[in-house]
Amino acid sequence: MDELQPRRVDQVEVLKSFSHPLRLRLYYALARHGSATATVLAKDVGTTAQLAFYHLSRMAELGVLEEDLEAPSRGRERYWKQSARGLSFTPDDLGDNTVSDLEVLHRAQAGIHLEQLQEFFNSGPNPSDGFRSAAFGADMVLDLTRAEVDLLREELTQTLLRFRDRQPPIAERSGDPSRSMFVFIHAFPMK
């Protein structure tokens, strides 16, 4: 099982800091690479290496990234890796009046999710890539109690974690190609 677990958060300021759209883009790009420099990540997300380095450093202060000392570096080049798999929190962890603060994170995430989906649609077909046809979307309207919403969140999270932490790791599999797949789930009350 992967040792990287979400960092438990109990301060709204940490959550807001992680919610910065560029930080989320860099975080997701780093998840795809495993280990990378600010220059590589900056190219992925369309920013400068200096700005990427600044935000990577701030995320390291939050405890979700760290310098990858095992990566082969040249000169002043620094590699980054995840030190935690995101942030974990509940509204109860964060105290009173946090709904608007949580919405900052949810809005930022939804924006990045939409960007990723649009990038996928705009990328066009790749005949040598069977993964494009594997993409899917699923949604439905459910009438749930608050306790059922919590249970649904927990069960979906456990399913995602089971696929993320499966053994043997992807790199050790033989003959079965893999691709980084961006999986996102949203649940929110309807009007």
- Cβ-contact 104, 12 below 8 angstroms: no
- Cβ-contact 106, 189 below 8 angstroms: no
Write out the two tokens for 27: 């975080």
pLDDT given at position 26: 94
- Quote the Cα angle for 131-135-141, to 5°: 165
Question: Using CB atoms within 10 A of its CB, is residue 89 exposed (0-12), middle (13-18) or buried (19+)?
Answer: buried
pLDDT given at position 1: 37
- Cβ-contact 85, 4 below 8 angstroms: yes
Residues 6+ away with beta carbon under 8 Å from 74: none
Q: How far is CA 184 from CA 31, 49, 50, 103, 116, in A?
A: 14, 27, 29, 16, 10
Q: How far is CA 33 from CA 42, 94, 100, 147, in A?
A: 12, 31, 32, 37
Backbone angles phi, psi at 34, to 5 degrees: 90, -50
Pairing status of strand 35-37 against strand 87-88: unpaired
Residue matched to tokens 């109690």: 145
Query: pLDDT tens string for the chain (191 positions)?
Result: 345 667 677 677 777 777 889 999 999 899 889 899 999 999 999 999 999 999 999 988 888 889 998 888 777 889 999 886 666 776 666 666 566 777 878 888 889 889 988 988 888 877 667 788 888 888 899 999 999 998 998 899 889 888 877 766 665 666 677 788 888 888 888 87
Domain ranges in the chain are 7-124+136-172
- For residue 32, the Cα-to-chain-centroid distance in whole angstroms is 9
Strands (E), 42-174: 65-67, 79-82, 87-88
CATH of domain 7-124+136-172: 1.10.10.10
